Structure 1
């Protein structure tokens, strides 16, 4: 009996039919100029762009470091802290009528949520294979709207700040005085002067001057504490004569340390 005699050939299931072959994606090489290999071509380009941006950003930070301001102080009602530069657009948004006050939830949750939600959904709303921005109108429009809004709000926030006045809040302009908070004079100071002049005698711009570097002796300080001076009204000090002497001696000792004339509760450079 010959091999295969009496048998019929039906087919080989291992050979895919034409319909199955059409579902296999073509190799990227069949699309010259429109795509490329992920490794190493695409990944190398992405790495180079990221490296150039990072080096440029590091040079900018080293050449023009961000200015630092004082710590937010709940006892200083005149100090209005500013957020970091990358949050200035949200800070400016809260100045608008329907994004602040009783509508603050709209400015802090609703509007940012819609904006970032739209950017998150952009790839799902526009699933076209095109890479040209002009042929992806939804994604391009959302991105341009987002970038333009952030740039405009940031510009408006920066333009509305009096930077010369805020320079007084800089940590570079604050005397580096180490305060002995256990000293009797500081205890009197905290009860009578701290709310206006700050916890380190640094003062509050537009509200009260600093007390480091002032040209007053102990008697003059006592007279000012009782009778006031300039915009400072009288009778601000509430305490005994002994406490008044402790307060004056404390402020004088701090100024002596600031000018390097003696030793006391702390030291700093004159403002």
Structure 2
């Protein structure tokens, strides 16, 4: 310490006692290789995120999400579907290699490998370049994942009539509900053969139309139960002729009471 120079106390020898202004380093000597996080890199990220957000908002306005009607806990014939952002996994389970005896491949192994590969992509491709053609592994895995998700989602959504599902899944107002004798023998036959598609109140569901308000005779109902009609395939009824007759009479009786 020299006289007149003052004293300086430093708690850590690795910290300089001189205060320096918080100014980003000059990266001009490294053109195209690196840049200051603030504000250069952060501004680019914000602009890219803003463009994506605006595009996504425009897409939702032009094509609203395929939502269904309000949930009805009394509809036992309802067939649920996952939300639109999980439809690609739902579609994957329709393929032979990911369903049936290979269901574990569809619900655990294939999704696990896909998401695990995306997590490992930065470690598998350690190239210093930032352009896509200099990162073939990471870019290739991301393009494969993005293409698969878009294609599977499109395939799943294109086979679903969302408007019909929303209309069929609307709760039935109390004023429109019909009185059904659940203790009758015909209802027991209906429960074993028809309820899964037409609902416990005969109001229909996603897999079958309503049986209330139909103008059919007993013989016509019996014929439809055995031979099918429209999208209903034949052979849906499994029972004796006596049970078939009770079923048809029960359905007709419900429509008469209405």
Q: Normalization by structure 2: what TM-score?
A: 0.61
**Residue 169 of structure 2 is aligned to residue 170 of structure 1:** no
- Where do 1:181-260 residues align within 5 Å? 185=180, 187-188=182-183, 191=188, 193=190, 195=195, 196-204=197-205, 209-215=209-215, 223=218, 228-232=221-225, 235-236=243-244, 248=253, 251=255
Aligned partners of 1:69 and 1:170 also within 8 Å: yes
SS of 1:151's equivalent in the other structure is helix
Q: Please provide the CA RMSD for this pair.
A: 4.2
Q: Normalization by structure 1: what TM-score?
A: 0.59
The structural deviation recorded for 1:61 is 2.0
**Residue 105 of structure 2 is aligned to residue 103 of structure 1:** no
Aligned partners of 1:98 and 1:107 also within 8 Å: yes
Q: Which runs of 5+ in 1 are unaligned?
A: 4-13, 16-25, 256-271
Q: Distance between the aligned counterparts of 2:180 and 2:90, measured in 1?
A: 40
Aligned partners of 1:68 and 1:170 also within 8 Å: no
Aligned partners of 1:72 and 1:81 also within 8 Å: no
Counterparts in 2 of 1:201 and 1:57: CA distance versus 1, 3 Å = farther
Q: If you compute each CA radius of gyration, which structure gives the higher value, 1 or 2?
A: 1
Q: Matched residue pairs, number?
A: 212
- Where do 1:1-271 residues align within 5 Å? 27-69=26-68, 75-76=76-77, 81-158=80-157, 161=159, 163=160, 166=161, 169-173=164-168, 176-179=171-174, 185=180, 187-188=182-183, 191=188, 193=190, 195=195, 196-204=197-205, 209-215=209-215, 223=218, 228-232=221-225, 235-236=243-244, 248=253, 251=255
The structural deviation recorded for 1:174 is 5.2
Q: Which runs of 5+ in 2 are unaligned?
A: 3-12, 15-24, 227-240
Kindly indicate whether structure 1 or structure 2 has the higher relative contact order, using CA contacts under 8 Å at least 6 residues apart. 2
Counterparts in 2 of 1:102 and 1:157: CA distance versus 1, 3 Å = same
Query: C-alpha offsets along residues 197-243 of structure 1, whole Å, 9 cap, x if unaligned?
Result: 2145332577x541344347xxx6xx57xx8444135644759x9xx
